[in-house]
Chains A and B, each alone.
Chain A
Amino acid sequence: MTRVAVVVFPGSNCEHDVAAALAAVGVEPVLVWHGEATLGDVAGVVLPGGFAHGDYLRPGAIARFSPVMAAVTEMAAEGAPVIGICNGFQVLTEAGLLPGALRRNEGLRFLCEPASCRVRSARSVLTSACEPDQVLELAINHYEGNYTCDEATLRLLVENDQIALTYEDNPNGSIGDIAGVSNEAGNVVGLMPHPERAISPLLGSTDGVVLMESIAKSASAWAGRARRPAHAPVAN
């Protein structure tokens, strides 16, 4: 079974929801404490939501220096799926693994509500199982979800097809209605909505399943690709 790490920072509070959502799509979740230097034998990593290190200074500002982040950065460079959800998205931008930054919501209100999100690119590891233009009913739960970048960066995001998800009705002032972005390669993705909270009719939506399935599919594909060189006969 494909294994995916879920990093637990002091102050994370969505790690068990993410683990359950991964298990629901056939992935074995492995909770990894932020103080660990390695992620173990995994084919991807999710940084879950919460308030890592109390969100002191800025959300994600302290978490990016957690020991485990060196291993996360290495996995990202190797092309493995790296997903940041909500606070995890903030950590990835602070770590420089994703462009831009997340500021306080326009209107200075904490938002905890459903948000319709449109899949803009099915190229990323988070959206590879989606149909382009598919609209997903997800939940948002944040105070600092107002995605910001300069105009030049926004042009690059559009040109390189890095905008994974947009809000149908922008709730927080994000530039370009952006709800989720990827790096240029598409293997590092951050999003403010919580796919792990939309995996059962009991939760009000099952639209997060296709995003979790994308993660599962990407991790499985990466595991297959990563293993081949290790088992390949050595030339000469």
Chain B
Amino acid sequence: MRFSVVVEVSGLEGIADPEGQTIERALPALGFEGVADVRVGKLIRLHLEAPDETTAYERAGELCRRLLANPVIERYEVAVSPLAGTG
């Protein structure tokens, strides 16, 4: 089966995010009030071949730990869903 995988990589809690802070400061200047805790990360989409959804999720986690995220400074979240029209 083919799965669609979406990986979100962002800085660990407690690690400064100067890009997020800059955006947070810019928004009130445009009239957007009440915005807080802006964090900037990156989103990586990929397709993955796996026998089932559990395995796909495990493999996605493994490739995050090995390459997509640096655990010293980053955290990641993985979302897996079956690709329509396969199976």
Measured CB to CB, the residues of A under 8 A from B are 57-58, 61, 65, 93-94, 100-101, 103-104, 106-108, 148-150, 173
Q: Is the CB of B73 within 8 A of A103?
A: yes
Binds A, one of B11-19, B50-58, B77-85: B11-19
Number of A-B contacts (CB under 8 A): 28
Contact of A100 among B15, B16, B72 (CB under 8 A): B72
Shortest C-beta distance, B61 to chain A (Å), equals 17
What 6 new A-B contacts, CB under 8 Å, besides A101-B72, A103-B73, A106-B16? A57-B68, A58-B70, A101-B73, A106-B18, A107-B18, A148-B15
Q: Is the CB of A57 within 8 A of B73?
A: no
Measured CB to CB, the residues of B under 8 A from A are 15-16, 18-19, 22, 67-68, 70, 72-73
Chain B residue nearest to A148 (CB atoms) is B73
| List of A residues within 8 angstroms of B18 by Cβ | 104, 106-108
Question: With A and B bound together, what is the CA distance between A36 and B18 in angstroms?
Answer: 39
| List of B residues within 8 angstroms of A100 by Cβ | 72
| List of A residues within 8 angstroms of B22 by Cβ | 108
Q: Is the CB of A103 within 8 A of B68?
A: no
Chain A residue nearest to B19 (CB atoms) is A108
Known: A108-B18, A108-B19. Is A61-B72 also a contact (CB below 8 A)? no
